[in-house]
Structure 1
Amino acid sequence: MNNKMCYPGICFLAWVLLAGFQEAVAQNTELIAPEVETARTDAYEEQLENYLRHFLVEEYEARAANRWNRDYSSPAALERSVSPNRRRWEEVLSPPVLSKTGPLENKPHPLGEIKAQWLTLPLGLLTAEAVLAFPEGTSEQHPVPLIIVQHGIGSTPETPFSTGAYHEYAKALLGAGFAVLLPMNLRSVERRNNVERYARLAGTSLPGIELVRVQHLLDVVLADPRVDAERVGMWGVSLGGMATMFWMPLEPRIKAGVVSAWFNQRRNKMAVPDERYSSFSPREEHAFFNGWLTEFSDYDLVSLIVPRPLMIQHGKKDNIAHWPQVVEEYEKAMVHYHKLKMPERIELILHEGGHEAIVEEGVRFLTHWLTGTINEK
């Protein structure tokens, strides 16, 4: 300790505490050998992991069976029967209450030949920000459907207009006659880890905060007469796929969804490390949410989206999952639609590629369900 920066009494107290700590460590070493203590603690850690993994994985089916009481007699009956689960899902995300504190700001945001706009909506200490673009020929007399286009963790709102894993799918949606709203979510693992820690302390979650930001943006954007407010879809890639899966159960204005490079056998993905797929742990703390695996594996969560149309896209070379497990989870998700006699409303695009969007199929799906007269709930 630097004596020039320390009062004598404080320095002496610090010296006494340090000496006492060193003595306690030495005495503990005499009472138990370090290797014995390490082995004991390792064994306890293993017990805890086995206990929690057993709860999350092996006990999941029985636990979930007791928590879901689905009534497939009609779409309305199903929605009513899962309303308790929907409330519990909202508790998982714990979206905060935010209020608009100013008007929407709208500035030009050209993206090459695309005449986009950058939106900023004040929400107290936060803002909701997004790119908005309309297809050619849009007018109040000819309003168009809107697709929420959600980027992934390593990308920005501009990325879906670019090549690479996104294959310019935002541009393809514009070409198909959709307006696109591209919300800005927090980018990078490190940043999301940092903010998610604070969010948990505050009793919320980053996906919950970002959901509310998008909901406030929708309030304003859907009031634009150039937008057909009854024809809203969402298409997210990677962590944007997470947003699509997470938000559709809580935002009924989204009438159809495409989930690219996210859908998974969720229990294995989150709790069972395996060389056949990547794991979030230990680097990506942001991806773990309180209560997620109590009853909300991906196929169960889909029953909070039914009967709205849903497409799942997954590449066999995408190491976020072992693709046969994705198929298994999807087949369980299909059951909800089949029991309602609506099998055409869910679709799996299992392709030979990797972590990417499959543009032609996604555009086809959204065009089918959000144009013409097919937009019934």
Structure 2
Amino acid sequence: MSRNFTLCLIALCLLTQTIQAQPLENTKPLTLEGDIASQIVTGADKFLLRQLDNTITARERYWNRDSSSAAAYEASVANSRARLAEITGVVDKRKTFGDLQIVAGTGGPVEVAKGESFLAFNVRWPSVRDISGVGLLLKPNKPNGAYFIAIPDADQTPEMISGLADGLPADQQYAKRLAESGFTVIVPAVISRQYESRNNRAKMTTREFLYRSSYELGRHLIGFEIQKVLAVVDWCESRNDSDVQIGVVGYGEGGLLALYSAALDTRIDATLVSGYFDSRQDMWSEPVSRNVYGLLDQFGDAELASLIAPRSLVIEAAKGPEFELPSEGGAPASLDTPDPKVVSSEVARAKKLIGNEQLDALSLIVSGDGYGVFASEKALQSVAAAVLPNSKIAAVGSAPKLCRELTDVQARESQQAHEINAHTQWLLTESHFIRKDFFKDVDTSSVEAYEKTIEPYRDYFREETIGHFDLPFKALNPRSRLIEETDAWTRYEVVLDVFDDIIAYGIITIPKGIDEGEQRPVVVCQHGLEGRPQDVIGEQNIQYYSAFATKLAERGFITFAPQNLYIFKDRFRTLQRKSYPQRKTLFSLIVPQHQQIVNWLKTQPNVDDKRIAFYGLSYGGKSAMRIPPLVTDYCLSICSADFNEWVLKNATTQYNFSYMFTGEYEIFEWNLGGTFNYAEMAYLICPRPFMVERGHFDGVGEDQWVGYEFGKVRFMYQGRLKLKDKAEIEWFDGPHTINGVGTFKFLHKHLDWPEPVE
């Protein structure tokens, strides 16, 4: 009897395992083990790195160089030059001015220092609006009539490369050496990499701090610094009635600015880039302040060099700035000397792009073994002769003698940072009007006219804001496994194929009692930052999610809880870094994952494909603003614990809730200030129903800003389009959580599903 009991027990266990292993109808068994969320992030990383590799050949589609003559060549690259100006934020008109302003006190000499063959002055000049350039003017005793702009690295000061302050050997003080050789030299100060906590919160460099708000508003710290350089070019040009010779020299971050400035402005005759030129394919690992949205989609350093042709460009392979930035709120980064072999390869690629030896004035100088000193005499001699033929770099002179106390470098930087921040805060106040003008072509005379004229904006949002991989979907290949069953519902894990290395994963909960042939509405329930599907079904973090996917299933809705990519902290944030240079974002992958989820849901016999809704909390609310505009199969969207005056939240330095001070360094999206705030994203959901769920004590924002932004949405729905019941907001007395009262009623109403009888 004992033996029979044992056999029965074994048989029962085997039967239970068989039942549990049974997949959902019309799916294969899911055999994937381990942490599927981690595997999704790993797959996305492989995918993005592969796509990054493809950008080198793919960017050829933007170029049609005509190398038949210098004039033809310039004309053929004009559109690319304009695109570079756009993505670096060099879009504002510079101020006109008569002369540099010498900055000196009321007592003592005007000059700050006196060298054997030049005088040094502290100077200031206007750039864009209230942003000024500051630095040094080195005025030779016997000027040769030509000009150089010498740009230091971000960890150097104008005084260091001019020989006025310690920090560099005399032979590497390249601004001083050019002045000693008869060139008039202007040395702009560059924002430093000073690393500190911001508003007592995240630690980051000053460059990253200023990058954040600028990027959100369609500008860039790089762009502001380029504008300062080009304002000096304006000044140099105004000094002579005849054609004036202008050169630019830069090292490290200064090399970046020199390369971009020369690529943008054909008045620069010759350029030396030292310790910077590289392939840029790993720019995602460099300081985030170097991130330029869509750069690698159209430009590598070779393409930038090709914009400088037929003018002279000297590339110096030399030891560059080397450092690491930790992950303490700001973006982690590492910077190393460019590999000399890679530098040589990129120079060769640039020469091939130029395509005509007569237009090729590009040369490579290797300092030492490629890790030697920057601004070597050979490199300086080469660029000097390119600006002014037969000119010679003079022997190193003695150190200049100070005539007055040097500028307080920290105070100067604080003022420069303040000017840029003040400018972005002004842009923030103007952004509403910029977006209003951007949306001027939307016709709200009728719903039909609206739906037709909103489509170009949806296309722009897809291609320019979110980013779109133009790839065919793989076959769905659905796999599933039963994970839980109660008297009320059955629950499965589901995995679908999207692209190579990209899968979609989630948990579907199917209410019991669905009649044969009956089709139910579906609510896709989206977790927030660092979340999982298990959160929304109630296995964990119930204080935020209130098990809303399970509660909705108990009300008769089918629910699906997807795993989105924003998990594992720096691992997913690095995915954003790898996406940006490709003119892509995290949502370039999340959107197709959701499209495949919807595609699969629509194949299920008990799903009504016209009643599939989206409901997300926190980062899931962020998803609610970005996915339904592009996955139009979602018939409505609910944004919980996220809706905001989003551009303000990202760019303001006035409110502590701002992302300017937090560790979400991936959150900033290029030029939302000029295109899509949350109201404009909601316009892409309209005329489908849209709802906001807002707790009064949710720290993601403040009620007045949420109300302000939602007021624009409500006016579009109810005022312009007369859609009286399709846009709602629920305010509740609570924190950052699913409330599940007004939103549940909204779902029942618009998904046409009866509320439970109390």
Change (3 A) 1:149 1:266: same
Q: How many angstroms does 1:101 deviate by?
A: 5.0
Task: State the match for 1:63 in structure 2.
Answer: 434
Task: State the match for 2:470 in structure 1.
Answer: 97
Question: Which runs of structure 2 are paired with 1:234-245 in the superposition (5 Å)?
Answer: 234-245=614-625
Change (3 A) 1:35 1:159: farther
Change (3 A) 1:50 1:140: farther
Separation in 1, partners of 2:490, 2:592: 27
Change (3 A) 1:300 1:197: same
Alignment of 1:171 onto 2:550: yes
Separation in 2, partners of 1:31, 1:139: 92
Cα deviations by residue, 1:279-301 (Å, 9 ceiling, x for unpaired): 35441112111122212111222
Contact 1:309/1:345 (CA < 8 Å) preserved in 2?
yes
Separation in 2, partners of 1:96, 1:313: 32
Return 151-160 or 187-196, whichever deviates more. 187-196
Separation in 2, partners of 1:66, 1:14: 50
Q: How many angstroms does 1:79 deviate by?
A: 1.6
Return 73-82 or 185-194, whichever deviates more. 185-194
- Give the TM-score, by structure 1 length: 0.86
Contact 2:641/2:737 (CA < 8 Å) preserved in 1?
yes
Q: Which amino acid aligns with 2:591?
A: L
Task: State the match for 2:751 in structure 1.
Answer: 370
Contact 1:153/1:188 (CA < 8 Å) preserved in 2?
no
Return 360-369 or 107-116, whichever deviates more. 107-116
Contact 1:189/1:286 (CA < 8 Å) preserved in 2?
no
Alignment of 1:117 onto 2:492: yes
Alignment of 1:358 onto 2:733: no
Name the SS for the 1:236 alignment partner.
Answer: strand
Separation in 2, partners of 1:154, 1:302: 25
Q: Which amino acid aligns with 2:748?
A: T
Separation in 2, partners of 1:288, 1:145: 34
Name the SS for the 1:286 alignment partner.
Answer: coil
Change (3 A) 1:278 1:62: closer
Cα deviations by residue, 1:26-61 (Å, 9 ceiling, x for unpaired): x89x99989733333333333333333322x12212
Cα deviations by residue, 1:323-345 (Å, 9 ceiling, x for unpaired): 11111111121001112111211
Contact 1:276/1:321 (CA < 8 Å) preserved in 2?
no
Q: Greater RCO between the two (CA within 8 Å, min separation 6)?
A: 1
Separation in 1, partners of 2:686, 2:512: 33
Cα deviations by residue, 1:158-179 (Å, 9 ceiling, x for unpaired): 1112221111111111012111
Contact 1:276/1:319 (CA < 8 Å) preserved in 2?
no
Q: 2:418 aligns with which of 46, 49, 65?
A: 46
Change (3 A) 1:299 1:36: same
Name the SS for the 1:250 alignment partner.
Answer: coil
Cα deviations by residue, 1:235-285 (Å, 9 ceiling, x for unpaired): 000000111111111121111111100100123211113445353544111
Separation in 1, partners of 2:688, 2:732: 23
Contact 1:119/1:131 (CA < 8 Å) preserved in 2?
yes
Separation in 2, partners of 1:168, 1:13: 62
Identity %: 22
Name the SS for the 2:495 alignment partner.
Answer: strand
Q: Aligned-residue CA RMSD in angstroms?
A: 2.8
Separation in 1, partners of 2:716, 2:371: 67
Q: Which amino acid aligns with 2:451?
A: E
Separation in 2, partners of 1:198, 1:305: 28
Separation in 1, partners of 2:369, 2:689: 68
Task: State the match for 1:330 in structure 2.
Answer: 710
Larger radius of gyration: 2
Q: Which amino acid aligns with 1:110?
A: E
Separation in 2, partners of 1:182, 1:212: 16
Long gaps (5+) in structure 2: 1-367, 377-398
Separation in 1, partners of 2:573, 2:593: 19
Alignment of 1:191 onto 2:571: yes
Q: Which amino acid aligns with 1:297?
A: N
Question: Which runs of structure 2 are paired with 1:207-226 in the superposition (5 Å)?
Answer: 207-226=587-606
Which structure shows the higher helix fraction? 1
Alignment of 1:287 onto 2:667: yes
Separation in 1, partners of 2:591, 2:725: 28
Name the SS for the 2:494 alignment partner.
Answer: strand
Contact 1:315/1:351 (CA < 8 Å) preserved in 2?
yes
Change (3 A) 1:273 1:227: same
Cα deviations by residue, 1:340-371 (Å, 9 ceiling, x for unpaired): 11121111111110101111221111110011
- Give the TM-score, by structure 2 length: 0.44
Task: State the match for 2:724 in structure 1.
Answer: 343
Q: How many residues in Structure 1 have an aligned counterpart in Structure 2?
A: 355
Change (3 A) 1:136 1:321: same
Separation in 2, partners of 1:34, 1:97: 56
Long gaps (5+) in structure 1: 1-11, 21-26
Q: Which amino acid aligns with 1:74?
A: S
Q: How many angstroms does 1:17 deviate by?
A: 4.8
Separation in 2, partners of 1:45, 1:75: 46
Task: State the match for 1:106 in structure 2.
Answer: 480
Q: Which amino acid aligns with 1:159?
A: D
Q: 1:182 aligns with which of 556, 561, 566?
A: 561
Return 226-235 or 107-116, whichever deviates more. 107-116
Task: State the match for 1:155 in structure 2.
Answer: 531
Contact 1:265/1:328 (CA < 8 Å) preserved in 2?
yes
Return 182-191 or 159-168, whichever deviates more. 182-191
